[in-house]
Structures are given as structure tokens and as C-alpha cells.
Amino acid sequence: MDIEGFVRRAFAAGRGEDEIVRALTHEITTIKRRVSDEYAQEFARAVVQEVKNTSGLEGDLFAFEAAGVTMGEFGVGSRGKGDFFAHRQFPRIIGTAAAAVGVDEMDDAGAVAANGKYIITTVDGMHSRLSDFPFLAGFHVTRATLRDVYVMGATPVALLSDIHVADDGDVAKIFDYTAGIAVVAEAMGVPLVTGSTLRIGGDMVLGDRMTGCVGAVGVADYLTARKETCPGDVILMTAGAGGGTIATTALYFGYTAVVEETINLHFLRAAEALLKSPVLRHIHTMTDVTNGGLRGDVYEMAETADCRIVIDEANLRSLVEPRVLAMLDALEIDYLGVSLDALLIVVPPEYVDEVTAVIRGAGVPIERIGYVEAGPAASVLLSGGKECDFQPRFRESAYTPVKKVVDTEPRDFDEMKKRVEQAADAAVAKKKRILERLRTPD
């Protein structure tokens, strides 16, 4: 519970100061069973005072232009159309930079050239619903961030961690989370070298919610970025059993045995084998099936490379781990719209056999699933010989009971897009104002 937000909303609703203190005191004592009523009331009055002191402030340093659209309404973080649109605003705010692969390319990681090599950096946030399962959270986010380095054609050389646990969370959470990171780090020989540990919101958030991220740094001689995808290329995909998303689905729908299927290093081993093979330099693009599932990743690839990508469903189902696929089918979850922890490889047809041999040599199944054509940017699914809808949904497939409830069409999406774009415009304008101020001599 965000108690500062609680107080701000209460003031906005016209509630009196004494009423707010009483209500907040009750909330604090309900969650913090060990504190006295006197302490909770004193704490509540202090929060009210802080909110009063920081309300109504104006100017670039204290206020922002609100979009009037919430993160949840727009599906930010939900790996669908709203999320993709929001992320397309970042390049406008960040601007042009001397990057070999920048944020405008919507790739798995960024890259800069340095001393004849490419330095790759990336960061992944832990799955929000694994807060009560710290080891799984640490394991899966580490594997995800290493995937993003490998698919750029890079060798990972270091990991970094950031972990935040709310005020009432048990200290053991940060250790269990770190153990999950360390398992992957040690198994793949990539050291965890630095990190940060904080409380979510400091004193302002009650409860034991945990969140965090793991970042990675890699080095490459040759990049396999999405923009290199070309007409005539063939698309291959490895088998996948899912990661944090599938583990979350299994946990919250009661299929806990399926969680075991997600504890593997198949993707990383397959990618590592490719990095050691001469065929790597003939691969145009690699990516992992994560953002909104295959629907989302193929859509983003087509947009970045400005080409038409056709996916044939004939071999797809055979590449999903059988117990995972059975669970998704039973729960009526679209397997094309969730993260499968599979590796996509885009390669000229003459190198397909060589790539396939390397992957299978690492003990990972792989099949041809599509091809690239010239034409306007588009993603197409062939199912039973017919073209079917393959656009990303507003959100990724609803993969928990709660997500099935909130998986509804938003209010006017076009209107929300305008508001979000205006908010990004305001951030760009503020950036320019502050830069001008910093560049002007005193």
C-alpha cells in the first residue's frame, strides 16, 4: 500500500486532515501489527504534513504534464499494442545518440562501438507476480537478461542486480532472490559484480511486495540486431518451455508441477553454441520470444526491418514443451501471445542446415517456422494454409486469473494514444528547456 498516494488521494477527495489521519492510522496498524496506535497516529500525521508541504508545487523540477491515462489503462508493461506504442515514445525523448543499436530499433539490447568491438547492455525487470517466490524471480530474470545479450551475438561478461522489497518484507527475500541470480550466473560462468538493495518507496510503502531487475553487459565482434532481417531470409525457432510468465501461469492456476519445466538453461546453451560457431557471422537476426509472445516479437521485427514476415503454424506447437502446451490449452491461453523462452533465428536459406546442426548439437530442438518477404511492414500467420490474424493484442495473452478479469478492451484507444503522445511531447520540451539552462553560462 502506497501511504503517500493514499493521503494525496484523500486530500483530492476533499477529506479533512483529522479524518485522513484516523483512516491512515487504521491502515498502518492493520498491516504493521507490532506498532502501537500512538506510533501509527504520529506516523500518519507526519505523512500528512509531508504531503501538504509537497502539494501544489509548480515548475519544471516539480510538476509534469499528466496524460490522464494510467499505466494499467494503456497496458504499459503488458506487452501489447499500448505497451509498444508507449515504448515508441522513448526514442523521441532520448534523442539521437552515437549507438550502433539504439532505443529506436526496439531491439533486445543496446550496443555501442568501442575499440573495434561492440559493448552490449541490457536490463530486465523481474516478473511482478513472482514477488512471493524470490528464487524463481531471480532465476528467471537473470536468464532473461542473458538471453538479451546472447541474441545480439554477444558474449556476456558481467551481471548487475537491483532489488527492492517493501518495508514489511522479510530480509530473507533479498537473499533468496540473489541465490536465484547466482545459480544462473555460476552455471553460465558470468559473474554478478555489483548491485543495489533498497526498500520500495522507503517508509512510504506498506506490505512485503518485492520488485527488482538484473542487467547484463556483453561484448561482440558482430551484431545480430533486428534491423538486419532481409527479404529472402528463413526464420527458425528453438523449442521453449517458458520462463517467468509460464512459471507465473502455473503457480496462480494451480499447475505447480509445470514450474519445474521452466528451470533449464536450454536457450542459453543453444545461443552459446552459436557464438562459438563460424555460422554466427551468417546469421542476420536473433531474438527471444518474450514481448507479447511470438505475436509481439514478429510484429516488432517487421516494424524495425520494414519487411513482411510470414509465420507458418505447422511446426510451432511441436516446439512448445508438451506439459506447458497442455496447460495453456486447458486454460484457453493463446500460446502465440505469451513468452515461450524460445530463440528466433533469421538466416539466409543457404545457412539453415548449418545453424540447425549447431543448435541440435547443443541438445535443443529447432524447426523452420517462417520466412521474410519484401513489402510493407507486416506480420502474417499461416494456419492450415490460410492467412490469419497475427497482430499483437491490446495486452499479451491473459495468463493468470486476475489478468483474465482485467483483459478487457480499453476506453477509446486512439484518444488515449493522443494523450500519451502529448505527454511525451511535454517531456521532450522539458528536456530541451533544462538542457538550455545548463548550457547557458551563469
Q: What is the tens place of the pLDDT at every residue in 71-87?
A: 988 888 777 778 888 88
Instruction: Compute the average pLDDT of residues 207-220.
Output: 96
Q: Are 270 and 345 in contact (CB under 8 A)?
A: no
Q: Is the model's pLDDT at 382 over the cut of 80?
A: yes
pTM of the model: 0.91
Question: Which residues 6+ apart lie within 8 Å of 403 measured at CB?
Answer: 395
Displacement of CA 73 from its chain's centroid (Å): 18
CA dist 256 and 238 (Å) reads 24
What H or E segment, with its residue span, contains residue 374? none
DSSP-assigned letter for residue 262: G
Q: Quick one: pLDDT band at residue 193, thresholds 50, 70, 90?
A: very high
Residue 296: phi, psi to the nearest 5?
-70, -45
Q: Are 79 and 291 in contact (CB under 8 A)?
A: yes
Residue 358: phi, psi to the nearest 5?
-65, -45
CA dist 171 and 208 (Å) reads 10
**Picking from 77-91, 189-203, 253-267, which range would have the lowest pLDDT averaged per residue?**
77-91
Domains and CATH numbers, the chain: 3-53 (no CATH), 107-223 (3.30.1330.10), 224-392 (3.90.650.10)
**Residues in the chain, how many?**
442
